[in-house]
């Protein structure tokens, strides 16, 4: 009897003891993952006295549900108090994620199918000229003039000094350099970004966040989609080229339809990052372009954390992402498993 409990006649099915142990572990982990969401839900329907008097877990048993947070957030402050940051978050998140997917997928395809050999010296000159342009703009020079001066200087250096150097980077070096930009903390670069958008008169606008979020998201898109595209057989493209298809037609008619799972999974990952971004929104916005993370952080005011209001706003903020993840679950699972098996 004990032997049957720990052995299975089918090598592809676990034994009864192993199956029971697996379900216990999965059940415990499910509880760990879902309990914070449950706590947010019940806290959003608690009165302040119920939150401060101690932990209570079961509505109608430990406490009576209340709409206090809903009334305070909507009736007392006005609907625009929530709708404006919510609309900003929705527009900025969707537009920046879509733009990053479009631009990043094109770059990923180019890195997966073409061989690039940019010279290291020219790349270094470009970075130095870009830093020089930021310094000139920060010093008060109009941005068209600053960019124009450093652009001309870059082309002069590239066609004179740059030709004397032969060391070059490969595609793998370019990909690593791109993804390494995500290692740099946002707070280390936010000051020059702030100065740049200040000179462009884009502070406290959705466009500032869209441009910043798109730029920050590009390395992730290029990394994920590059790995996905490399797993698509190149023979499919070669067959299309033989039939007379152009490079753009192959990309739109063959590569992108086959890459739909990867596109959806990457889009959702990037959307989550942009949806929850805080540091850039804190520096680049005031009231007009305020996003939901800033509104939630503002609930920790002089009276202390308003946990009932915070829970309500967090629920409203994560609800679209949860619904979107449930709808696109099968695409996400397929997209995230790409590259797990090769050969």
Task: Give residue 341's pLDDT.
Answer: 45
CA distance 137 to 318: 38
Assess whether pLDDT exceeds 60 at residue 338.
no
Q: Give SS3 for 217.
A: helix
Q: For the chain, how many structural domains are there in total?
A: 2
327 and 259 within one domain: yes
pLDDT digits (tens, 9 = 90+) for 273-312: 999 999 999 999 988 899 999 999 888 876 778 888 899 9
16 and 88 within one domain: no
Task: Give residue 340's pLDDT.
Answer: 47
CA 252 from centroid of its chain's CA atoms: 24
Tell me whether residue 105 is in a domain.
Answer: yes
Q: Which helix (H) or strand (E) holds 49?
A: helix 48-52
Residues 163 and 135: beta-carbon distance below 8 Å: no
Tell me whether residue 198 is in a domain.
Answer: no
208 and 104 within one domain: yes
Assess whether pLDDT exceeds 60 at residue 68.
yes
21 and 90 within one domain: no
Tell me whether residue 234 is in a domain.
Answer: yes
Q: Around Cβ 284, how many Cβ atoms within 10 Å?
A: 22
88 and 63 within one domain: no
89 and 51 within one domain: no
Domain final residue, candidates 73, 88, 106: 73
Task: Give residue 6's pLDDT.
Answer: 65
Residue 29, domain extent? 2-73
Domain final residue, candidates 56, 73, 90: 73
pLDDT digits (tens, 9 = 90+) for 3-55: 666 676 766 677 777 888 889 999 999 999 999 999 999 999 998 888 888 78
Assess whether pLDDT exceeds 70 at residue 173.
yes
Query: Which tokens go with 41?
Result: 């839900």
Angle formed by the axes of helices 80-113 and 171-180, to 10°? Answer: 160
Angle formed by the axes of helices 260-276 and 80-113, to 10°? Answer: 140
CATH value at residue 258 = 1.10.3720.10
91 and 15 within one domain: no
Mean pLDDT of the chain: 86
83 and 67 within one domain: no
Task: Give residue 270's pLDDT.
Answer: 94
85 and 65 within one domain: no
pLDDT digits (tens, 9 = 90+) for 227-242: 889 888 889 898 988 8
Q: Give SS3 for 102.
A: helix
Assess whether pLDDT exceeds 50 at residue 256.
yes
Domain final residue, candidates 73, 100, 130: 73
Query: Which tokens go with 132?
Result: 């020089």
Q: Around Cβ 215, how many Cβ atoms within 10 Å?
A: 15
7 and 62 within one domain: yes
pLDDT digits (tens, 9 = 90+) for 101-114: 999 999 999 999 88
Residues 338 and 227: beta-carbon distance below 8 Å: yes
99 and 42 within one domain: no
Query: Which tokens go with 259?
Result: 């890459």
């Amino acid at each position: 009897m004990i032997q049957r409990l720990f052995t299975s006649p089918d090598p592809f099915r676990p034994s009864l003891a192993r199956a029971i142990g697996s379900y216990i572990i999965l059940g415990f982990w499910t509880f760990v993952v879902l309990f914070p969401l449950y706590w947010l839900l019940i806290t959003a329907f608690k009165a302040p006295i119920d939150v401060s008097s101690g932990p209570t877990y079961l509505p109608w048993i430990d406490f009576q549900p209340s709409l206090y947070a809903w009334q305070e957030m909507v009736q007392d402050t006005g609907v625009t108090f929530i709708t404006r940051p919510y609309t900003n978050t929705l527009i900025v998140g969707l537009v920046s994620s879509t733009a990053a997917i479009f631009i990043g997928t094109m770059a990923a395809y180019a890195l997966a199918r073409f061989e690039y050999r940019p010279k290291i010296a020219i790349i270094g000159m470009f970075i130095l000229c870009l830093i020089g342009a930021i310094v000139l703009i920060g010093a008060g020079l109009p941005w068209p003039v600053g960019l124009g001066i450093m652009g001309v200087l870059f082309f002069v250096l590239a066609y004179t000094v740059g030709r004397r150097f032969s060391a070059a980077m490969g595609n793998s070096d370019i990909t690593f350099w791109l993804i390494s930009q995500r290692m740099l903390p946002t707070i280390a670069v936010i000051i020059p970004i702030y100065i740049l958008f200040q000179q462009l008169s884009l502070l406290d606008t959705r466009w500032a966040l869209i441009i910043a979020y798109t730029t920050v998201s590009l390395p992730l898109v290029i990394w994920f989609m590059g790995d996905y595209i490399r797993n698509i057989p190149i023979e499919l493209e070669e067959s299309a080229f033989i039939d007379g298809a152009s490079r753009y037609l192959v990309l739109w008619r063959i590569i992108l339809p086959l890459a739909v799972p990867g596109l959806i999974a990457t889009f959702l990952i990037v959307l989550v990052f942009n949806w929850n971004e805080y540091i850039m929104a804190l520096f680049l916005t005031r009231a007009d372009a305020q996003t939901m993370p800033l509104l939630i952080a503002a609930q920790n005011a002089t009276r202390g954390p308003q946990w009932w209001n915070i829970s309500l706003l967090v629920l409203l903020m994560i609800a679209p992402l949860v619904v979107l993840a449930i709808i696109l679950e099968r695409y996400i699972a397929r997209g995230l498993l790409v590259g797990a098996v090769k050969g």
